Amino acid sequence: MDYSNHVAGFTKLFSGLVHSTVWREEMHVKVVWITMLALADRHGHVLASMPGLADASRVTLEQCEDALARLSAPDKHSRTKEHEGRRIEVTDGGWALLNYVKYRNLRDDENRRQQVREAVSRHRAKVITVSHGKPRKAQAEAEAEAEAEERMTERRAPGPANPLIKRVPLERECLALVREVSELTGDDPVEVIAQASGYKGAATTKINPMTMSDDRLANTVRDLRADVTELRKKAASNGAAK
């Protein structure tokens, strides 16, 4: 297989790899495994032929065959019990890394937390910059809000990530829309988001955007956008009538 046409990607190696049973394997097995991690697409698929993978791994064909056999076999000592400890399976056109999506989601959650930390840091720097012209109370409220956002990110609801959703911008938009609806209607912000999210009680529905699932967050923001658009039209119409 010609790898020159592959789009370059980035694969994070978790430090726990060195404590896994695969790290006890012979060198050619470890090299093939890391090569497959580097070649995998976002869904954990490695598209390659056996000779192509051997060339990319810089091992012999026989070593590549042996490595794939070991990675495909059950591993009773593996920390991950799904698939009986198997790491790969053959697919049409190559192989699938069986736990790739699980670890990708862990990586994505970590990236989102880092993005929020950076955003909070920028927000605090901005607050400091404008503090000479801002009342002390407003500045303190802004800092408290930023710290609350950072804390709530750590309590985000677990579950598979929706690749179409960019959580941090959507969470902020949700909060901004709730505030605008509350200002336009005079309703309590909690009641606004409860109605938009279809709140039916804490056991079934979250009303904090940081703890909503990706899909519920997206649907809540969509409903809030529609509410704000309608409320703006009504406000403009009332203003024109006066």
Query: What would the two tokens of residue 226 be?
Result: 């529609």
Within a 10 A sphere around the Cβ of 233, how many other Cβ atoms?
A: 10
Rounded to 5, what percent of the chain is helix, strand, coil? 65, 5, 30
Q: Is 45 strand, coil or helix?
A: strand
pLDDT (tens digit, 9 = 90+) per residue, 175-192?
A: 889 889 888 888 888 888
Does residue 197 share a domain with residue 120?
Answer: no
The number of domains in the chain is 3
Does residue 66 share a domain with residue 113?
Answer: no
Does residue 50 share a domain with residue 25?
Answer: yes
Does residue 179 share a domain with residue 142?
Answer: no
Q: Which residue has the higher pLDDT, 143 or 196?
A: 196
**pLDDT average, residue stretch 144-148:** 55
Residue ending a domain, among 154, 173, 188, is 154
Residue ending a domain, among 71, 98, 125, is 98
Range of the domain at 183: 162-242
Alpha-carbon span 68 to 46, nearest angstrom: 12
Does residue 124 share a domain with residue 49?
Answer: no
160 pLDDT tier (thresholds 50, 70, 90): low
State yes or no: pLDDT of 57 exceeds 80.
Answer: yes
pLDDT (tens digit, 9 = 90+) per residue, 8-42?
A: 455 666 666 777 888 889 999 999 999 998 898 88
Does residue 68 share a domain with residue 120?
Answer: no
Within a 10 A sphere around the Cβ of 42, how many other Cβ atoms?
A: 10
Does residue 81 share a domain with residue 49?
Answer: yes
Does residue 32 share a domain with residue 13?
Answer: yes
Does residue 62 share a domain with residue 10?
Answer: yes
In terms of Cα–Cα distance, which of 89, 95, 106 is closest to 17? 106
Does residue 203 share a domain with residue 124?
Answer: no
Residue ending a domain, among 77, 98, 119, is 98
Mean of the per-residue pLDDT values of the chain? 76
Does residue 225 share a domain with residue 143?
Answer: no
Query: What would the two tokens of residue 127 be?
Result: 């607050």
* CATH number of the domain encompassing residue 51: 1.10.10
Alpha-carbon span 242 to 240, nearest angstrom: 5
Tell me the pTM: 0.42
Q: What is the pLDDT of residue 234?
A: 85
DSSP state of 19: G
State yes or no: pLDDT of 49 exceeds 90.
Answer: yes
Taking phi over 0 as left and psi of -120 to 50 as alpha, with beta for the rest, 198 belongs to left
Phi, psi of 89 (to 5 degrees): -145, 150
Within a 10 A sphere around the Cβ of 166, how many other Cβ atoms?
A: 13
Does residue 206 share a domain with residue 147?
Answer: no
